Structure 1
Amino acid sequence: MATQVHEASDEDMYRLFEICSLAFAHNEPFFDACWPLHWTEAGRKQGGERFKEINNTDPNNTFLKAVDSTGNIIGMAKWNVYTGTIPDFEKQDRERKDYWDDPLENQYVKELQDGFVQERRAAIVRNKGHVVSLDILAIDPSSQRQGAGGSLVGWGLKKADEMGVNTVVESSVFGKGLYVKNGFVFKKDVELEVSERFADRPKSRFAWLERPKRA
């Protein structure tokens, strides 16, 4: 039986975050900064709780799980579906929470997040609140190349085609091949800018891709 994709429940959130932690490891400075100590049990527990909170408070998001033939969750995705409403971005910024004990680390995360959301927010406004956005996708490293990634991407593309809207994604620079394969067009690489006091930190980058709406 092929990989199946289902909407995730609150009970799945710890496993979904664990998959993200395993998949991103320490290869993405942005992920390390935004999810404190995600490689530890305490960090993964906090991450799962944050996923659960997002799942219950953000009306635009859908968490998905990819399940193999034995019933194990081997992949996850979080899609944001905007149906004509532009979020209050200023309110979102005000309501961001701090998760590091060190205020300096929280400021670093804020600067990274400010840069990360710019392309997506511009796309939401440009499309007048009608757009589908892939926020995150991860596959357990032990279960990669089994089709789970394509199945998770396909869920969002089907939704976008039903709505007749564009689809956007911030991809890791090395992971954009999956999206190009599924009809996304690479637009540019983006390096997140931070203030001079963080100039010695590892650079955070992503690839911005868009998939035009289907006729």
Structure 2
Amino acid sequence: MLQLVRSAENARAKWGAHLYYYYHHLLFMMPLGVCIPETPAGFYRMSEIRSLAFQRDHAYIDMPFPRHWTSEGRELLRDRLLSIRSEVASSRYVVVKDTDTDEIISQAEWHYYSPESVGDVMDLEFVEGSEEEKNYARNMIGSFQAGRREAIKEKNDHLMCKFAPSEAKPLSFL
């Protein structure tokens, strides 16, 4: 079960009575578990959640994950996530499950970079479309990656948010 604080008393002290009420009821209404996804079905559900969250509003998502809003596109996204998991050492994935139903209700992906690294370079050969579209996508994704690598190098922080190109900030709590 996901426990954000060690006890209900700590929840009340940390968040106050109002939020304690929601925390208290959340623990009893929906027990949550955090786990590492293992199966293609789990990664497909991750692709559904990601697609629904970003919809068609972010070119950075649409370009590397073409047609992610369709079932075929989500299968491609699932396969890409499985490939990244096995081929990119810095990748990390977790899902949150409702332990009563075993339904995945949330997902997260991030990259943890060793102190010697300045980030992975994504293979951009998968980009689809005309030559002009491919060049645009490669430049856009490449410039984001370059900025991310520079931020890691500059700040000497090794955990970066992946899907916030305009707000990529190091998370310095490790």
Please report the TM-score for the alignment, with normalisation by the length of structure 2.
0.71
How many residue pairs end up in the alignment?
A: 143
In the aligned structure 2, how far is the partner of 1:62 from the partner of 1:19?
Answer: 16
**Alignment check: 8 A CA contact 2:127 2:138 kept:** no
Query: Of the two, which has the highest radius of gyration?
Result: 2
Aligned partner of 1:208 among 158, 168, 172: 168
Q: Which residue of 2 aligns with 1:38?
A: 68
Residue by residue over 1:153-180, the C-alpha shift from the partner in whole angstroms, topping out at 9 and shown as x without a partner, is: xxxxxxxxxxxxxxxxx26xxxxxxxxx
State the Cα distance separating 1:80 from its structure 2 match. 0.9
Q: Which residue of 2 aligns with 1:71?
A: 102
CA distance in 2, matches of 1:71, 1:212: 32
Note if 1:9 corresponds to 2:38.
yes
Counterpart-to-counterpart distance in 1, 2:114 and 2:168: 21
Structure 2 residue runs without a partner (length 5+): 1-29
SS in 1 for 2:34: strand
* Matches of 2:167 and 2:137, distance apart in 1: 19
Q: Pick one of 66, 80, 86 that aligns with 1:56.
A: 86
Letter in 1 for 2:67: L
SS in 2 for 1:36: coil
Asked if structure 2 preserves the Cα contact closer than 8 Å seen for 1:67 and 1:74, the reply is: yes
- Post-superposition Cα deviations, 1:3-53, rounded to whole Å, max 9, x if no partner, equal 221111242211111111111111222212221111112211111110110
Output the amino acid matched with 2:151.
A
Distance between the aligned counterparts of 1:60 and 1:42, measured in 2?
27
**Distance between the aligned counterparts of 2:86 and 2:146, measured in 1?**
24
SS in 2 for 1:34: coil
Does the alignment pair 1:26 with 2:53? Answer: no
DSSP 3-state at the match of 1:62: strand
Q: Which residue of 2 aligns with 1:105?
A: 133
1:104 aligns to what SS in structure 2?
helix
Q: How does 1:107-186 map to 2 (within 5 A)?
A: 107-128=135-156, 131-136=158-163, 170=164
Superposition deviation, residue 87 in structure 1: 5.0
Which whole-Å deviations, capped at 9, do the CAs of 1:113-151 have from their partners, x for residues lacking one? 1221233211222245x5112324xxxxxxxxxxxxxxx
Task: For 1:134, give the aligned amino acid.
Answer: C
CA-based RMSD: 2.3
The DSSP-based 3-state class of the residue aligned with 1:35 is coil
CA distance in 2, matches of 1:213, 1:6: 21
Which residue number corresponds to residue 158 of structure 1? Answer: none
Identity %: 23
Q: TM-score, normalised by structure 1?
A: 0.58
